[in-house]
Amino acid sequence: MAEKYNTREERRKQANSNKTGKSKKKPKGIFKKIFLVLVTLGIIGVVAGGATFAYFISDAPKIDESLLKDPLSSKFFDKEGNLLTEEGVEKREYVAYADIPEVIKNAVLATEDVRFFKHGGVDILRLGSAVIGNVTNGFGSQGASTLTQQVVKRTFLTDEKTIKRKVQEAWLAIKLEQRYTKEEIFEMYVNKIWYANHAFGIATAADTYYGKDLKDLTLEEVAMLVGLPQSPSRYNPFKYPERAEERRNIVLHLMNRHGFITEAEMKNAQSIPVTKTLQAQDTSKVDTTSYDAFIDQVIEEVQSMGDYNPYTDGLEIYTTIDKDAQKYVYDMLNTEDIIQYPSKSLQAGISLIDTKTGEIRAIGGGRNIQGKRVFNYATEAKRSPGSTIKPIMDYAPAIDKLNWSTYEQLTDEPYQYSNGTPIKNAGGHYRGDVSMREALERSLNIPALKALQEVGVEEGYAFAQELGIPIPKNNYESGAIGGTQSVSSMQIAGAYSAFGNGGIYNQPHTVTKIVLRDKTEIENKFTSKAVMKESTAFMISDMLKGVIDESYGTGQLAKVSGLPMAGKTGSSNFDAADKKRFNIPSAGVPDSWMTAYTTNYTVAAWIGYDKKSEYLGKESQRIPKKMVKELMTYVHKDDKPEDFKQPKNVVKRGILKGSNPAVKASDYTPKDQVTYEYFIRGHEPTKVTKQYDKTSAPVGVNASYDEASNSINLQWNYPQTDSSKTPEFEVKVSIDGGASQVLARSSTMGLTIQQPNPGSTYTFTVTAIVNGQKSASASASVKVTAIQEEPIEPEPDLNNPEETDDTGQNDQGQDNSNDDNNNNGNNNGNTNNPGNGNNNGNTTNPGNGNNDGNTTNPGNGNNNSNGNGNNNSNGNGNGNSNGNGNGNGNSNGNGNGNGSENSTGGTGGTTEPPQPPIDAENTVPPAAGDNP
């Protein structure tokens, strides 16, 4: 038992003995434990590091090829090929690897990655050196990024200096090297790097700092550019030329160190001040505000041509813009210098295009517009076209499909749509039968509707669609006056340009071609087609000229003197509910239009308000006409266009006004009854009016001189074949070959000319006039016999034998004649006696009755006159002759002895010798339109 139960001390000793034995084995166990710990930590580190690496790369972005394509700005050129502006996220010029000069390649490699063509995306040697540097000086103090890694960082990653970013950068660099060649990656690098002053890519930098292409740069210039990317702001040569020069010299040193240049080349380049070849900084900023509306449309068009992005693809875009016209349109809308506007809220859209090509020259996108890529009122505002639709949908289809002439008769009368809804003209009046020409010039609604109904609603809408007018789902008759369509000014201008282009429609466009970065040219393919007959286009144009030129035309305010221009006005209406709601007057309208064209340009102008509560008054509605006038004057200031050319299949005919169906005017139709209209050849009228047949000429014209009565008798006959026509005769006379003067107009066929000039030759011309139409003339001549007069002795006064001169009073009473007046007809002297006929000189004999001339025999014949001063009987009494023997029959001499200017004394019924002008009271001016 004792052996089993030792004392406490023995047991203590035994325990100590055991401890001593174990302590001798301790060193071996410690190393083993340390090794196990290190292995464990290593495994844990590898696992943890691998997991961390796997996590980092799992979260790395994918290599997106589209992101490797740098966003390059595009250049926009005007119609002359001159640079207009540049648009894009950044302004870049791209350079292909093959176009990069060797000196630039060497400078980049020497400075950034001399082993670029030897590593696989990550340079292990540089990485090891960088790790040591980062341990010694702190993480991030030294970089080891290759060109490939820099491309990855600038394309897919941020600039933060973290382990995660560095791991992802290395991983993506390796992946990038597997997908692209070294040359492609080098090209990506030099085009991505930022060089300060808004210059992305080395080609842009060369232009920014030196105004040169890459191939023209010198060694010191290349070195300066290559040194910038390390810290573009710090080494900006415009701000810090000393720093830039210091950095440039480091690049030159590295190029020499790596054997790309000699020491002499290095020192020579380093000796040149950096500012010596540096160009002045361009601080100017071109204001392209006036072009914004046009550029917006260009961008839309380029994107519609294919998968092209003007903001990123670095395109060269060749446009159709006329810079001067665009600036003028912008000023017209945004200043008060050309047009005065009633309010700032009034909006407008203007489109100017080339009539022959459809190329857009200018776009007025709105008034008081701020910023780019905003709403464009010329291309995006869709409003009711009003009456501007009439030529497009109503009249052109009728000419094209039904062979209507410009004279086609339409009745303007109270009328209804087919559904029974009334239709009215703008003024509420009706003009009865009118030609298509007049209906269009006056913009009458009812004839327009009738035209559409005749041609067919479906046909009219289809015709408009061919002209680029958008068509609603349902075709209504109200479309005849613009009641259903919504159009832009660009669409209206495009449609009207086809009228001025012989029926050829060219889709309005702003781009002629684009050039890609690889210099591939892409032509703009736009719609161009014949949409109507040439005859239709011409006849519409000729009628629309009247809209501007005629005094009653609705577009006369747009007239430009001397410019052959056609056009059409239009306006829309508020519906009854809006009129009542906003208290809009009857004359207020929401839209007002004017479109016009020459063979050179077509313009469409629209104005209106965005809010329904605002309206255009009468004065505001004139603004589009003024816009057109001013713009057309400006664009034609140096180039007068040709007039619209009449096609061979169109004929012009004189038509009797008011005839229905049309009949041709005859050669004898008065000019004021003829209207000249155009017809499709083969569809013109053949019947000639008989309303104005040829008027027969007078026949048997005879003129004879009666010496006894000293008068000329003129007589003629007329072969009257139509008893319903009563001719009027115009008689003209010429004396001794002088100018012809109208002697008389009467319905009788005879005329007596009293007291002709002795010895003169009278030539008479007689013309018949029937219904305003003159006949040919018939003539006759006669020579008047010269009269030899002998001196006449005065006869004694039997009543006053002691008196030889009458003192103005006779025995019986006071004579009413005055000394200086032509008393008693043509008496040339003074007399106290009444009724002495044509006595020459003084006489005391009263009433010479049947005596010829002067006589001393008193009171012969049936003369009832005597010397009584107040006797009312005339000097020749009731005898068969006048006082001078030349009277006609029972004519009275009217010689009351009054010495007034109008008394004729005793010359009863006679005509004085004709002295021009002859018989002035009977002279009637020729009728308007008379034929010679």
Catalytic residue among 112, 221, 438, 441: 112
Say which residues have a Cβ less than 8 Å from residue 256's Cβ, sequence separation at least 6. 262, 263, 265, 266
Question: What is the SS3 assignment for 908?
Answer: coil
Q: Which residues contact 474 (CB under 8 A, 6 or more apart)?
A: 484
The helix/strand/coil state of 858 is coil
The residue behind tokens 């103090």 is: 141
β-pairing, 601-608 with 591-597? antiparallel
Cα separation, 236 vs 6, whole angstroms: 95
Residue 753: enclosing H or E segment and its boundaries? strand 750-754
Pairwise CA distance, residues 689 & 609, whole Å:
53
Q: Which residues of 800-828 are buried (b: 16+ CB within 10 A; e: fewer)?
A: beeeeebeeebebeebebeeebbbbbbbe
Query: Is residue 378 exposed (0-12), middle (13-18) or buried (19+ Cβ within 10 Å)?
Result: buried
Question: Which phi and psi angles does 683 have, rounded to 5°?
Answer: -120, 10
Q: How far apart are CA 574 and CA 608, in angstroms?
A: 12
Contacts of 100 (CB under 8 A, 6+ apart): 186, 187, 190, 202, 214
Backbone angles phi, psi at 750, to 5 degrees: -170, 160
For the beta sheet containing 511-515, the strands, ordered from the edge strand earlier in sequence to the opposite edge, are 83-87, 74-77, 316-319, 511-515, 521-523
Q: Is 40 in a helix, a strand, or coil?
A: helix
Residues 6+ apart with CB under 8 A from 397: 452, 455, 459, 460, 463
How many Å apart are CA 196 and CA 202, to the nearest integer? Answer: 11
- The pair of structure tokens assigned to 78 is 């005007």
Residue 307: C-alpha distances to residues 279, 300, 524 (Å): 38, 12, 13
By DSSP bridging, strand 316-319 and strand 74-77 are parallel
Among all chains, which residue has been given the structure tokens 């914004």?
Answer: 292
Dihedral of CA 199/204/209/214: which sign?
A: positive
For 547, the token pair is 């809209």
730 among known catalytic residues: no
Read off the tokens for 514: 């684009």
Cβ neighbours of 194 (radius 10 Å): 17
How far is the C-alpha of 235 from the C-alpha of 241, rounded, in Å?
7
Strands, DSSP E only, in 565-624? 566-571, 591-597, 601-608
- Residue 112 falls in the annotated catalytic set: yes
The rounded Cα 58 to chain-centroid distance in angstroms is 63
Closest CA to 499 of 356, 620, 302: 356
Half-sphere CA count of 716, side-chain side, radius 13 A: 29
AA identity, residue 866? N
Q: Which residues contact 371 (CB under 8 A, 6 or more apart)?
A: 292
- Within 13 A of 93's CA, how many CA atoms are on the CB side? 15
What is the Cα–Cα distance from 811 to 833, expressed in whole angstroms? 10
DSSP lists the bridge partners of residue 717 as: 699
Choose the catalytic residue: 387, 488, 571, 891: 387
Which residues are part of the catalytic machinery? Answer: 112, 387
